[in-house]
Amino acid sequence: MVQHRLRSRLAALLTAFVLASCTADSARLQSTGSSDLEVNEGASKGESLVVTGGTVVTLDDSDTIIESGAVAVVEGRIAAVGTEQEIRKQFPEAREISAEGGIIMPGLVNAHTHIPMTLFRGLADDLELMDWLENHIFPAEAAFVDEEFVRWGTKLACLEMLQGGTTTFVDMYFYEDAIAEEVDRCGMRALLSQTLFDFPAPDNETWEEMIEAIRLFVDRWQDHPRITPVIAPHAPYTVSGENLVEAFALATELDVPMNIHLAEDKDEVVTIRNKTGMTPVQYVDSLGILDDRVLAAHMVWPTESEIEILAANGVGVAHCPQSNMKVSAGIAPVPKMIAAGVAVGLGTDGTASNNDLNLWEEIDTAAKLHKVDTLDPTVIPARTALRMATIDGARAIGLEDQIGSLEVGKRADLIVVGTDGIHQQPYYDIYSLLVYSTKASDVRMAMIEGKVVMQDDEVLTVDADEVLAMAWEYQGKIAANVAGSDAVAH
Ligand SMILES: [Zn+2]
């Protein structure tokens, strides 16, 4: 999150603000056989249902596509993937959900965001960073970020993500225990990262309090079927080397992922080099805190040798192309990272620097940005971009065995995408259709852990009217609070 990065340059100011954050292959029936289906809390226990009639884009290792396909779901997990005819024969009693004319595919994975900040959407754009920070973001966070704010921001974000077909996301903010409660109610899957700083955060004053809060947070949520607690030392310039080592040791002890902003912009590279004589990835590697539990957000400025370090240690990367563009952070060397074997997912980052949670735009942007950067239209082809938002994103966040593709035994996190928009017709290739023509508003249905959470543009787990009313209530208060604001009234 950019404001956090900037905050590091303003340590004294930060302390004062305290709260400032900061085709068609032959149809293939995958039988359950002796699958280890189990009943999970939150799953539709005992219920079997079949999503039928659409083109199934599996995103499996063979990129299997099944026309007139279907996916069977039993007790929250995918029980079979095949042709409509085959699945109906195998599951004659199952409730049917029609995907007629649409595409059935895995739900999207947003690998990096700060969801409560959705209430700050578009608060301040196109400004010099210091002006943006000091006169807009800091005052707003200092005045408004508390547990209640975080809950309403989370509900608004879940509403937006579910309408657009995002079923899993990775958050990094404060009050993550409250966020987890709201995410649980919304029915989404998430990795929720409680942030650690060397200085006071909105929810905890001291490092010791932060560590204690994280232990309680992990203990409460670690066995939840959809929520994964995560430890998030914010960045190598806001957390000391000693504390980074302690945070990693705690993540290892508690066996949870670790999330960190790393190599986000050139200033960070200079700061870390001046402090340690090393570049950011080199530095954290020297601390011994890189392994496959680590998710690194942004990774705009790794050197060639650092890319090798990331690959060798199994570090996942969350690429946030639109945020990096909007704040002029730079262009991450994604083709090189992918070529080296690094798992690269896609993230929106927070809405204060994007300004939405629309992963379809990130897919489209990722596919195009690296073409213009390398002057090579063959890099990041459509299929690769779509994999970044699904199975490769799942790999980056360590959930590739659970989600990211439509395969037997995986969690039933899937979406149905309409193909009847004028902007989608005609089409010749399904990946081209999904990456370059499809919009978030084309998503018709979203299912998570076997439960339908969005149908025909209506999110079933969030009271949209209530959330939008609260969002505008906050907007009124925030707009009135920001000095010199010319924010619109509603
Ligand atoms: Zn961030």
Domains of the chain with CATH codes: 3-106+406-459 (2.30.40.10), 108-396 (3.20.20.140)
* CA 285 to ligand 1 centroid distance, Å: 20
* Sequence-distant (≥ 6) Cβ neighbours of residue 84 within 8 angstroms: 52, 53, 68, 69, 70
* CA 300 to ligand 1 centroid distance, Å: 12
* CA 138 to ligand 1 centroid distance, Å: 16
* CA 114 to ligand 1 centroid distance, Å: 6
* CA 378 to ligand 1 centroid distance, Å: 29
Instruction: Specify the residue for token string 């990262």.
Output: 193
pLDDT of residue 6: 41
AA letter at 279:
T
* CA 297 to ligand 1 centroid distance, Å: 7
* CA 208 to ligand 1 centroid distance, Å: 23
Distance of alpha carbon 216 from alpha carbon 220, whole angstroms: 6
* CA 349 to ligand 1 centroid distance, Å: 5
pLDDT of residue 39: 31
Question: Residues of the chain whose pLDDT is less than 70?
Answer: 1-46, 129-130, 133, 482-487, 489-490
* CA 364 to ligand 1 centroid distance, Å: 20
Q: What is the DSSP letter of 30?
A: B
* CA 353 to ligand 1 centroid distance, Å: 9
* CA 206 to ligand 1 centroid distance, Å: 22
Report which of 72, 151, 43, 173 is spatially closest to residue 462, judged by C-alpha positions: 151
- Residues 4 and 327: beta-carbon distance below 8 Å: no
Mean confidence (pLDDT) of the chain: 90
* CA 62 to ligand 1 centroid distance, Å: 33
Phi-psi region of 158 (alpha: psi -120 to 50; beta: other; left: phi over 0): alpha
pLDDT of residue 206: 96
* CA 177 to ligand 1 centroid distance, Å: 19
pLDDT of residue 128: 72
pLDDT of residue 127: 82
- Residues 74 and 381: beta-carbon distance below 8 Å: no
* CA 436 to ligand 1 centroid distance, Å: 26
Residues, Cβ < 5 Å to ion ligand 1: 1
* CA 2 to ligand 1 centroid distance, Å: 6
**Angstrom distances, CA of residue 369 to CA of 81, 95, 324, 365, 372:** 34, 43, 11, 6, 5
Report which of 224, 163, 56 is spatially closest to residue 72, judged by C-alpha positions: 56
* CA 321 to ligand 1 centroid distance, Å: 12
pLDDT of residue 2: 43
* CA 287 to ligand 1 centroid distance, Å: 22
* CA 68 to ligand 1 centroid distance, Å: 40
pLDDT of residue 37: 31
* CA 144 to ligand 1 centroid distance, Å: 19
* CA 250 to ligand 1 centroid distance, Å: 21
* CA 67 to ligand 1 centroid distance, Å: 39
**Residue 301 CB-density burial (10 A; 0-12 exposed, 13-18 middle, 19+ buried):** buried
